[in-house]
Amino acid sequence: MGPGVIDSPLVQALDRIATDIDAAFDALLPVPDDARARLVEAMRYAAIGGGKRLRPLLLATTAEMYGVDRGAAIRAGVAIEAIHVYSLIHDDLPCMDDDALRHGKPTLHVAFDEATAVLAGDSLHAFAFEMLAEPATSADPFVRIELVQTLGAASGFRGMAGGQMMDLVAETSEFDLQTVTRLQQLKTGALLGAAVEMGAILGRVPVEGRAHLRGFARDIGLAFQITDDLIDHEGDAAVAGKAVGKDAVAGKETFVSLLGAERARTQAQVLVDQAVAHLAQHGREADVLRALARYIIERDH
């Protein structure tokens, strides 16, 4: 990504969140001195040093807008990233998407084995909720329980996991644009929405004050997925760090197959403009969120 693609405060924020999340996973997942060592090594392999950390960045940037302590935001960021990482581990399994490459390195079941991958995913899943429940995340139990509720709802069968199920069904069904949109809102959008929502919860923003943030997240979530479809359609596996061209092979309808590449690209741009408009009430403190929205459709991986 050249200097013209994304602006410098965003580059700094991306660097900073990657460093902070890696450091937090490293500190929170020490390798035990017994037969569980292999499990924690697997969790660390999947969790440390990979990915753009978009969800923690959304969470921490939103939290910062409301004056939240960085340490609390990073703990909640680790929790949501742990959910994201667990979902990727299970998604990559042979019985699911059967992917061998993730973030440019072998997927967990390839580097370790399938059983360890299932357990490491399950362990990161439980770890996320443990993180949120501990007093270090917030002294206020109302804040902690709302974080748990928000992340649980976003990741469970009504959210992310439900979207993944729809994605499995998509391989053998003819989905229309409305159904694909719903699928993606659940599969990817629910967790991105939870990220900004959790930042606002840490900032003690009441429910009614979060509507514009949820609107922002909904729009960038869809723009993000359309861009993913474009990357899968046109991308280069070496740059993407994962296999591309898979949707067409699987016979899945995507935004690109339904709209065509050109209209899909236009739609993503409209969504990003709309997302930025949701932030009108905020000043410079929302600049990173704005830059992030633009970056989401300009990235190539």
Q: How far is the CB of 181 from a second copy (least distance, A)?
A: 12
HSE, CB side, 13 Å, CA atoms: give it for residue 31.
Answer: 9
Residues 6+ apart with CB under 8 A from 17: 53, 56, 57, 60, 77
What mask of x and - would describe binding to a second copy in positions 10 to 39, judged by CB under 8 A? ----------------------x-xxx-xx
The residue range among 141-149, 208-216, 225-233, 263-271 that interacts with a second copy, by the rule CB under 8 A, is 141-149
Of residues 249-288, those binding a second copy (CB under 8 A): none
If binding is defined by CB under 8 A, does position 225 make contact with a second copy? no
Q: Which of 125, 214, 233, 265 binds a second copy (CB under 8 A)?
A: 125
- For residue 145 the two structure tokens come to 């329980």
CB-nearer residue toward a second copy: 29 or 213 = 29
Least Å from the CB of residue 294 to a second copy = 32
Do residues 58 and 289 lie in contact, with contact meaning Cβ atoms separated by under 8 Å?
A: yes
Q: Which of 14, 43, 88, 192 binds a second copy (CB under 8 A)?
A: 43
Largest CA distance in the chain: 55
168 in contact with a second copy (CB under 8 A) = yes
Query: On the CB side of 168, how many CA atoms lie within 13 Å of its CA?
Result: 11
Token pair, residue 270, equals: 């409209």
HEC secondary structure over 201-217: HHCCCCHHHCHHHHHHH
Judged by CB under 8 A, does residue 162 bind a second copy? Answer: yes
CA 143/CA 147 separation, integer angstroms = 6
Q: Given the complex with a second copy, which of 101 and 133 has the nearer CB atom?
A: 133
10 Å CB burial of residue 236 (0-12, 13-18, 19+) is: exposed
Count the residues of the shown chain that bind a second copy, applying the rule CB under 8 A. Answer: 58
Kindly tell me which of 18 and 119 has the beta carbon lying closer to a second copy.
Answer: 119
Q: Identify the bridge partners of residue 79 per DSSP, sorted by sequence position.
A: none
* Alpha carbon 87 to its chain's center: 10
Query: Is residue 95 a contact residue for a second copy (CB under 8 A)?
Result: yes
DSSP characters over 112-133: S-HHHHHHHHHHHHHHHHHHHH
| Residue 84 binds a second copy, judged by CB under 8 A | no
71 binds a second copy (CB under 8 A): no
**155 contributes a contact to a second copy by CB under 8 A:** yes
Question: Taking contact as CB under 8 A, which single stretch among the options 49-57, 93-101, 205-213, 279-287 is the one that binds a second copy?
Answer: 93-101
Q: Which of 179, 257, 267, 269 binds a second copy (CB under 8 A)?
A: 179
Rg (CA), the chain: 18
CB of 243 to a second copy, least distance (A): 17
Look at residues 190, 196, 200 and name the one whose alpha carbon lies nearest to residue 216: 196
Per CB under 8 A, residues contacting a second copy are 32, 34-36, 38-40, 43, 86-87, 90, 93, 95-96, 113-116, 118-119, 121-123, 125-127, 129-130, 132-134, 141-142, 144-146, 148-149, 152-153, 155-158, 161-162, 164-166, 168-170, 173, 175, 179, 182-183, 186
